[in-house]
Amino acid sequence: MAIKASDVGKLRKMTGAGMMDCKNALTEANGNFEDATDILRKKGLEKAAKKADRQASQGLINIKINDNMDHAVMTEINCETDFVAKNEEFQTFTQDVANVALLNDTKEIDVLKTSKIEGELVGDRLTSLIAKIGENMTIKRLSNCNIENGLIEGYIHFNGSIGVLTVLKSESDNKEKLKELGKELCFQIAAQSPKYICSENIPTEIVDKEKEIFTDQIKTEEMKKPEGKKKPGNIITMIVEGKVKKFYKEVCLLEQSYVRESKQSISELVKQYETELGKEIHIERFERYELGE
């Protein structure tokens, strides 16, 4: 049967597929729009599968926090190029996925893909977007945070390349002050990339490995020195302990220097807010995403 140009245009508007793809699908479906849409989606699945091995390291990080600030999610969705990351349809999709994850309290990506956006499975919408835009895309990771007493604050770097969630626990009812501290901690985490909240959170094997490396470095240097100039064992131990403390200041949030005031530690900053509020504040958790890491 003859396919009208207006029908091709209508199907193209409905699906976003190319003109020839729409014409061929309508021809195959004998002019039936529903069947033609299914044909295009099946072809989209095939196209998406072919793109699955292509590296996707660009994209966007999104954060959604509920009105009570006691529940938040952070997602990273990747594409292949920065150009597509700026695409309005891709950006809308990433926002919708984060909203769905928050609404459904989703904790696993596989579960997220079976959730629905306006009646369509997230996984299916992702596949359709891959077929339409022509790049591989993946929902890379998802963090889901909850807190009973306290709040969650978030920060997204202006281009969506870094995202941070900070979970604060406190009995204080001064949400504005807690939010203020949470914002400062988010900035700190974004800028300084701590790995742990405090030194007690670092696994023993990691600390032991660092001590081993520091000790070997010093011994290597000492071997180059003539006899009588080498440091005794107790001095080497003290130097290693000093290097470990420096390591803690690099990787532990509470021991880092505050980016806005280098003479103040983050631990001291938290104590300052505790004094103002008259309540203890505990950093329960933080999550930091950097695009493509």
Please calculate the CA angle 102-106-111 and round it to the nearest 5 degrees.
Answer: 135
Contact present, 135 and 79 (Cβ < 8 Å): yes
Scanning the structure block, which residue is given the tokens 């220097």? 257
Contact yes or no for 148/167 (Cβ under 8 A) = no
The reported pLDDT for the residue numbered 224 is: 78
Q: What is the pLDDT along the chain (293 residues), one digit of tens a residue?
A: 788 888 888 887 776 666 777 888 899 988 998 888 888 776 664 455 555 566 667 999 999 999 999 999 999 999 998 899 999 999 999 999 999 999 999 999 999 999 999 999 999 999 889 888 888 899 999 999 999 999 999 999 988 899 999 999 999 999 999 999 999 999 999 999 999 999 999 999 999 998 888 888 888 887 778 776 777 778 888 988 899 999 999 999 999 999 999 999 999 999 999 999 999 999 999 999 999 88
Residues 187-221, buried b or exposed e (16+ Cβ, 10 A)?
Answer: bbbbebbbebbebeebeeeeeeebbeebeeebeee
SS3 18: coil
Q: What is the pLDDT of residue 9?
A: 85
Tokens of 31: 């002019």
Question: What count of other Cβ atoms lies within 10 Å of the Cβ of residue 56?
Answer: 20
Question: Where exactly are the structural domains of the chain?
Answer: 5-51, 54-146
What DSSP string runs through 175-211? HHHHHHHHHHHHHHHHHH--SBSSGGGS-HHHHHHHH
The pLDDT of residue 240: 86
Strands laid side by side in the 71-79 sheet: 58-65, 71-79, 138-146
> What does the angle CA 95 – CA 99 – CA 105 come to, to the nearest 5 degrees?
145
Q: According to the model, what pLDDT value does residue 46 have?
A: 47
Whether CATH 2.60.40.10 fits 5-51: no
Task: In whole angstroms, give the CA distance from residue 154 to residue 187.
Answer: 9
Q: What is the CA radius of gyration of the chain?
A: 26
| Each residue's pLDDT tens digit, 217-250 | 888 887 778 776 777 778 888 988 899 999 999 9
Could you tell me the two tokens for 198? 């405090």
| Cα distance between residue 193 and residue 207, in whole Å | 18
- State the amino acid at position 134 in one-letter form: G
Give the span between the Cα atoms of 157 and 272, in whole angstroms.
Answer: 26
pLDDT at 223: 77
At 79 the pLDDT is: 93
**What residues pair up with 283 in beta bridges, in sequence order?**
168
Q: Which CATH code, of 3.40.50.1820, 3.40.190.10, 3.30.479.20, 3.90.1150.10, is assigned to 54-146?
A: 3.30.479.20
